[in-house]
Amino acid sequence: MCGRFVMSKASSDLVAAFHAEPTGPELGPSWNIAPTQQVSIVTERLDQETGEIRRLLENMRWGLVLCGALRILARPRPAGRPRRQMAGDLHDPDHLGHGHPGAHP
């Protein structure tokens, strides 16, 4: 299946290798990580108070974003339109599914 990978090290191994601060629960190794699963990643962030760069080990959800999905998610919604996707939204980003562009569902 698309988007799968292997994480052969536990979170604690990554903390030691990258000198990072753990921020969540430890995750063990996995030989079949699929989209939607939690994975450990190393990030660097600027500490606003000290001006130092902090290296953190964070758990985040792994997944792929389809190229057309960004256009759908980034599109502004007309006022009063509830946040939901209709079948037409997936194929035509300007389609509101109800007659003219100002119509509400």
Query: How many of the other CB atoms lie within 10 Å of CB of 11?
Result: 21
More confident of the two residues 103 and 26: 26
Residue type, 4: R
Rg (CA), the chain: 20
* Tens digits of residue pLDDT in 13-58: 999 999 999 999 999 999 999 888 999 999 999 999 999 999 999 9
User: CB-based contacts of 44: which residues, under 8 Å, 6+ apart?
Assistant: 53, 54, 55, 56
Residue 92, both tokens:
């035509």
**pLDDT greater at residue 84 or residue 57:** 57
Helix, strand, or coil here: 5? strand
Q: What is the pTM of this model?
A: 0.57
